[in-house]
Chain A
Amino acid sequence: MFYLLLALVLFLQSSVLVGIFGSYLFVPDLLLALLFLSNARGPTNYARGFIGGFLLDVLLDTLGWHASGKLLALFVLSFIKRKFFIETLTSLMVAYLIVALLEHSYRLLLFRSKFYYPLEPIPLLIGFLVELAVVANGCHFLFKSVKS
């Protein structure tokens, strides 16, 4: 199930969303959302994160960019899980906000250290909001499935 979803997300993120947002810098990171939702409970699976990031890098020809970002996000998530209880929708969203902001900032900095591309705040914000909406829906679904 996870790998099917991963394939769909990779295809969406590397082709359709890039077409819509114009640059892969502003694309909502659905892979991060998927990894967060799949690792929010239980032990953190770094292998999935690395594979997902690596495959996205292959598709976008940015070897190491997404892979390192996803591993960093999973490190941070693992740390948060060890220190805090993430049991409610709000706490999950707050945790995701922290993870996503760190991951995106890290990736943008990494990109900026190598290339220059003008950052447009509006597409960036729209992309992030889309990502948050996806995570919120996913969390809702997660809680529902746990309850049932």
Chain B
Amino acid sequence: MKERFFYFSLFLLSVFAYLSDLSSYPLLSSLVSFINSLLMPVMELKAQTTRRVQDLINTYVFLVDTQKRNRKLVEEVNALSLKVSELEGCKRELLQLKGLMEEPPTVEYTLAGVVAYDPSGRDEFMLLDKGKRDGLEEGFVVAHRNVFLGIIDQVYAGTSRVRTVWSDNLHVSATAGGKNYIYKGGFPKGSLLHVAQEDELKKGEKVFLRSLRLPPLEIGEVYEVYPSGEQFFKRVEVKPYGDVRRVDFVLVLRRRL
């Protein structure tokens, strides 16, 4: 019983020592430092061993991680090698195709100044300062930036006349909403001819000049779609983009439609 009581007291003392940091008390500090000096070699050995073991563990974990990462990278490299060989194949095929295809045609053009407009105010034609002497021919396309303005219909020695998108006499092939139509010029609106009732052309849809040998120049946009004018076709009005009277210089594409 006495023994148990003694050890119970020791238990309480230990708890107190832990909670109150008894070893740091000034009275006991000399005793603690004495014990520490006795145990110094052991403590050093312990610290060194702990450090070495930690280093070993860290190295092991690092190596395991590196091995996993390496495996992943090897897989990625294999996949990429496959991709590279596929791409090489594609490149080879493309080079062969390039060899087979003829060079894409380049459009030659002449810059011309506008010298006169339509006196009626309907902008049906305009006069350019370039003519036969400059190599212009009837049927050449006239554009300003990416907007189609018209077609040269008469060529004189030093000048030429352009039939514009506002003219009733202009008829060109056009594309709108993925389908081909005939664009008929007009003032104040042009129109698309023979648009079937079931065609879904909407207001604001862009209308492009259709040509296999020229870039798709913009004619204008659908202004209004009227349900039924005739039995099979609907009436579609187009507002041309070309503002003839604001243009001082135009590009004459030296190619017919």
Contacts and interface: CB of A to CB of B under 8 A. Distances in A.
A72 interface: yes
A114 interface: yes
Q: Chain A's interface: helix, strand, loop or mixed, by majority?
A: helix
B18 A68 contact: yes
Given A50-B7, A63-B17, A71-B14, A15 B22 contact: no
A64 B50 contact: no
A19 B50 contact: yes
Nearest to A46: B7
A58 B47 CA distance: 13
Q: How large is the interface on A (under 10, 10 to 19, 20 to 34, 35 or more residues)?
A: 20 to 34
Interface residues of B, number: 31
Given A46-B7, A63-B22, A19 B52 contact: yes
Interface string A26-55: 000000000000000000001000100110
Nearest to B16: A64
A16 B49 contact: yes
Interface stretch (B35-43, B90-98, B122-130, B135-143): B35-43
B79 interface: no
B53 A15 contact: yes
Interface string B145-189: 000000000000000000000000000000000000000000000
B19 interface: yes
Most buried by B among A11, A67, A68: A68
Interface string B26-52: 000000000100010011011101111
Given A20-B53, A50-B10, A62 B46 contact: no
Interface of A: 11, 14-16, 18-20, 22, 46, 50, 53-54, 58-59, 61-65, 67-68, 71-72, 74-75, 110, 113-114
15 contacts: A14-B46, A15-B47, A15-B50, A15-B53, A16-B49, A19-B49, A19-B54, A19-B57, A58-B35, A58-B39, A64-B22, A68-B11, A68-B15, A75-B8, A110-B18
Given A46-B4, A59-B39, 7 more contacts: A63-B18, A64-B13, A64-B14, A65-B18, A67-B11, A75-B7, A114-B19
